[in-house]
Amino acid sequence: MNRSAGDIWHIYGPCMFRPKIETELLQLDDSTTYSENTNLIMKAKHDFLSKDHVQRKAGDLYVIKDPKYYLCDVNESILLVNQPIILSSLTSIKLSAKINITDVYGKVRKAGDVWLITKDITASHTLNLHEELVEQVNATVLC
């Protein structure tokens, strides 16, 4: 592989790295472990081919769904780690769509649509790239 002056790259191990005189070791990275149902909101720093074999352009935002562990490429950064929101019979969440999307439950949502996710739908929900949490709704008990 041809490299130019100023290029940055990963060498994935385990392996023995013997630096050449014209290279410099910048840092050692470890993968990060994430809990179940976590989403990573990623941003591409440069044009590159991602680990899921998708061509990404500089500035692209995309989601890595439910990684057990993840090691960022030198061409991407993690903007946000979305942990799952646990729902119960007393709590639900109200979401809004930022753009026209089809949610993880197969429903088509238009930009600005607001909907409720309850425990009847799922036990936990992790926000996607184009969903916004409006509020957490507590059950109202009528006497």
Task: Please give the share of the chain, as a percent, with pLDDT higher than 90.
Answer: 62
Q: Just give the CATH number of 32-82.
A: 2.30.30.550
Residue with tokens 């929101």, as numbered in its chain? 85
Write the CATH number of the domain with boundaries 85-138. Answer: 2.30.30.550
What tokens were used for 128? 């996607």
Instruction: Assign 12 to helix, strand or coil.
Output: coil
Distance CA 80, CA 126 (A): 12
Q: Residue 48 is which amino acid?
A: F
Q: Same CATH fold, 85-138 and 32-82?
A: yes
Nearest-angstrom CA–CA distance, 94 and 115: 6
Domain limits of the chain? 32-82, 85-138
Residues of the chain with pLDDT > 70: what percent? 100
Residue 38 has pLDDT above 90, yes or no: yes
Which comes out higher in pLDDT, residue 18 or 60? 60
Whole-structure pTM value: 0.80
Q: With cut-offs at 50, 70 and 90, classify the pLDDT of residue 79.
A: very high
pLDDT of residue 127: 93
Pairwise CA distance, residues 104 & 59, whole Å? 24
Q: Given this model, what pLDDT does residue 3 score?
A: 81
User: What pLDDT is attached to residue 14?
Assistant: 86
Looking at residue 85, its pLDDT comes to 95
- Better-scored residue on pLDDT, 58 or 15: 58
